[in-house]
Amino acid sequence: MFQGVFYMKPRISQLLQQSPGSEIVVAEGWVRTKRESKTVCFFELNDGSTLKGLQVVVDVETFGQPELLLRITTGAAIACTGKLVSSIGGNQEVELKADSIELFGEAPVDTYPLQKKRHTLEYLREIAHLRARTNTIGAVTRVRNVLSFAIHEFFQQKGFMYVHTPIISASDAEGAGEQFTVTTLDLANVPKTKNGSVDFSKDFFGKQTKLTVSGQLEGETYALAMKNIYTFGPTFRAENSNTKRHLAEFWMIEPEMAFCNLEENMAVAEEFLKFLFKRVLQRCDEDMRFFSQWVEKGVQDVLLKVIETPFVHMTYTDALVELEKANATFDYPVHWGSDLQTEHERFLTEQVCNGPVIVTDYPKEIKAFYMKLNDDDKTVRAMDVLVPRLGEIIGGSERESRLDVLERRMRALALNPEDYWWFLDLRRFGSAPHAGFGLGFERVVQYVTGMQNIRDVIPYPRAVKQADF
RNA sequence: UCCCCUGUAGCUCAGUCGGUAGAGCAGGUGGCUGUUAACCACCCUGUCGGCGGUUCAAGUCCGUCCGGGGGAGCCA
């Protein structure tokens, strides 16, 4: 079974699936809790491979070494050697009857921050370097891992190319939000030009550079060569936003497809989300039952229902009809042309549709310049996928592939076409209809797990005034 | 950035009308022939976020700063 040079000892997840036997096995991990009586002592051992750990049983009298047992406390790293036996207790099939235990690292009870009791997520954020050792964050970590892999599975099996768009961007205006500047200039002694502004020609790249807020524009260039591509990488926004669904550094998935219109774009988005949900239900059953019970009641059933139900399609104009009926209940009443607030999006997906809904064809004034203009000259081929509890989870569009229309739109928004010369070249040479969307990875993890705060679904959250660890 | 809430034992919280603090859990000791949120008994634990003010007296009232949470905006 293990043929590589590096011999992998079995993980606890594998041991838990084995039958009792006379073979000697070794289990390595961290002690979650210890229970002891006069003659018998139990450790629950966890190595991150599963939610529920392996019960290790020690016969106190035959084991001897009472001082060793005393030093093994919650948090200690140990390796236990013995046989897998069927368990007398009712909560597990097998357990490890330890003949010997090696203690690698103690976790002194008076200083170890994790106790064998439930902690709040807020407290765990303060000890983010240790929180992966908890049930909740461990489960999040496994789900996040499965989702990451599923993203590649979905696109790879559909023949999409994984493209790495740049993290450092020299584009003057990507237009998706405030950006972080990347510089090696001495901030205590910034070089200035004659008119007093910062002289970026002295900077590392010879011009001002920033961290990317989106790989879309570069993604489009590769879609118009490889046909179907996707990006999956870190994204940075310097917005001063302080909410439970925003981060300054987050991961984003951005597929881009040539010879593709908005209808096909919507179909891909729907199939993609459903694929991710299916994979998690298949491969993280134990963790998902945990989330369903303790974090968001019934979240498994919600995902199952989403998988089975076709997404509702609705134009912005039709959505407005629904919203205006209920205008009295809103803090911000809507009219045609106004942007949808969080309360409106949630009303549509939770009250009107009772499930995911894709809203399309928004007024051009409230959407980005690169979206394809409709024949009515008033709306663009944009789409937002809205889901209950979270609101917008995907934003996308068919792109404007007509050079003259795109240039006109840019001028109307006071953008300089020369700054986008390479982006416009795509429309000059071999232009084709194309479309794509962006999906915030952490928001998917949030939706799937039911975790309320986005800072708990990424290992080390970066947000306003927060860059610890 | 704006609005609201909040900061008390290691953790989660209570603390009335202003009179120098209390519970659960965690931890310790003892008990228990197999526990699994272990159980039973006893025990230990405090710069009440910082600074300033009002008062005979402040955890409590006022000001201010800092931290945390929720909502809004912006978005993914």
Say yes or no to pLDDT of A440 above 90. Answer: yes
Give residue A139's pLDDT: 96
A174-189: average pLDDT: 83
Q: Which nucleotides of B are covered by protein (CB under 7 A)?
A: 1-2, 10-13, 25-28, 31-38, 67-76
Average pLDDT of chain A?
Answer: 92
Residue A39 confidence (pLDDT): 86
Query: pLDDT band for position A265 (50/70/90)?
Result: very high
- Dihedral of CA A405/A411/A413/A416: which sign? positive
pLDDT at position A174: 52
Residue A3 banded pLDDT, cuts 50, 70, 90: low
Angle at A132 between CA A130 and CA A138, to 5 degrees: 160
Query: Strands (DSSP E) along A155-309, which ranges?
Result: 161-162, 168-169, 181-182, 209-211, 228-236, 249-258
Residue A307 pLDDT more than 90?
A: yes
A271-330 residues near strand B (Cβ < 7 Å): none
Q: What is the pLDDT of residue A357?
A: 94
Nucleic strand B under 7 Å from the C-beta of A254: no
C1’ B23 / CA A107, Å: 28
**pLDDT > 70 fraction of chain A, expressed in percent and rounded:** 97
pLDDT score at A409: 93
pLDDT at res. A143: 97
* Strand B-contacting residues in A 171-190, CB cut-off 7 angstroms: 176-177
Answer whether any strand B atom is within 7 A of the Cβ of A466: yes
Residue A243 CA and nucleotide B10 C1' are separated, in Å, by 29
Give mean pLDDT, residues A429-456.
Answer: 95
**Strand B and A437 CB separated by under 7 Å:** no
Q: What is the band of A172 on the pLDDT scale with cuts at 50, 70, 90?
A: low
Q: What is the pLDDT of residues A105-161, one digit of tens each?
A: 999 888 899 988 889 999 999 899 999 999 999 999 999 999 999 999 999 999 999
Q: Using 50, 70 and 90 to split pLDDT, how confident is the model at A268? A: very high
Percentage, residues of chain A above pLDDT 90: 73
CA dihedral A161, A282, A274, A253 (to 10 degrees): -40
Q: Which 56-95 positions of A have CB less than 7 A from strand B?
A: 57, 73-74, 87-92, 95
DSSP secondary structure of A347-412? IIIIIISSS-EEEEEEEGGGS-TTBPBPTTSSEEEEEEEEETTTEEEEEEEEB---HHHHHHHHHH
Instruction: Assess whether A468 (CB) lies less than 7 A from strand B.
Output: no
Q: What is the mean pLDDT of residues A317-337?
A: 89
Q: How far apart are CA A94 and CA A367, in angstroms?
A: 58
Q: Over 70: is that where the pLDDT of A71 sits?
A: yes
Q: pLDDT category, A2, cuts 50, 70, 90? A: low
Report which residue type is found at A78. I
* Span A317-329, average pLDDT: 90
Q: Which nucleotide is nearest to A440 (CA to C1')?
A: B76
Predicted ipTM? 0.89
Residue pLDDT, tens place only, A9-27: 889 999 999 999 888 999 9
Instruction: Name residues 357-416 of chain A with a Cβ under 7 Å from nucleic strand B.
Output: 391-395
Distance A19 CA to B28 C1' (A): 39
Q: A120 in helix, strand or coil?
A: coil
